[in-house]
Structures are given as C-alpha cells and as structure tokens.
Amino acid sequence: MKINDVILRTVTKTVVFIILTLGVYLFFAGHHAPGGGFIGGLVLASGIVLLYLAYDIETVHKGMPFDFKKVAALGVLLATGTAIGSLFFDVPFLTQAYTYIDVPIFGKMGFSTVTIFEAGVALTVVGVVVTIILSISEDE
C-alpha cells in the first residue's frame, strides 16, 4: 500500500528551505549571539531528516549523494586541524587568528579561524545525526 503524502511533500519543499536558511544564519551568528557550529549543525541536520521523512532514502540520496560518515569525518578533521594548527605558530592550543579580508561585494569583512573550527563542528554534527537517523531507519 502506497501512502499518499502530497501535503507533507508540498510543505517540506518550502519548510526545508526555511530550516536550512535558519541553520546557516545560526552558524554565522555564533560569535555575536547564541548559536554557532553545534546548533547550526543540528538545525541543518533536522532539515535533512525532514527530507528523509517526506521522501524515501533513495530519492534523497539522488539529490544529495553524500556519505554522511565521511561528512562527519571531514568535520572532525577540520575542527582538530584548526585546533592543532595553533601549535605550529608557537601559541597556546586552540588560539584563534583574526584578520580582515576585502570581499568584492561586501567590502572589508573580519575573518577568524574560529569560523573554520565551527564549520568542522557543524559538519560533524550533521554527519553524526543523519548517520544515526539512517541507522535507526534500517532497523525495521
């Protein structure tokens, strides 16, 4: 028996865009307001899980052909790489570097290595959460 979930799929198309946008906003708001890599990653993962609920696993994998275990591993590598990178410059562990970069449209913007660390945390959270949900779904 095939379930007709037209309403769920229609709403998901709009809501996932809003959820992913909120996740990116929370990721970048992490320095000046509550948020950052962890909460941004959780919100991004919830959007992906909603896609898995509305559509089947094969359909989502066609549109997003990621191995989320590798996404988590890349996130851990990125986060630990920025943490260990400080040791090469003879500064304390997890010390950040901060500079200004001239971006063509936006002008002069600040950039910190903490952003790279938080990106690693976000990728790790997304990879782990989606992997756990997919593992649970296989245990039918």
Q: Which residue has the higher pLDDT, 85 or 126?
A: 126
> Which is more confidently placed, 1 or 117?
117
Residue 35 near residue 27 (C-beta atoms within 8 A) = yes
Q: Which residue has the higher pLDDT, 121 or 93?
A: 121
Whether pLDDT at 11 is above 50: yes
> Which pLDDT tens digit goes with each residue over 65-113?
999 999 999 999 999 998 888 888 888 888 888 888 898 888 888 878 8
Q: Tell me what pLDDT residue 1 has.
A: 47
| Residue extents of the structural domains in the chain | 3-136
| Cα three-residue angle 2-9-18, rounded to 5 degrees | 160
pLDDT tens profile 17-71: 999 999 999 998 876 676 789 999 999 999 999 999 998 888 899 999 999 999 9
Q: What is the per-residue pLDDT for 67?
A: 94
The Cα–Cα gap between 17 and 127 comes to: 19
pLDDT band of residue 2 (cuts 50, 70, 90) is: low
Which residue from 84, 27, 101, 16 is spatially nearest to 52, judged by alpha carbons? Answer: 16
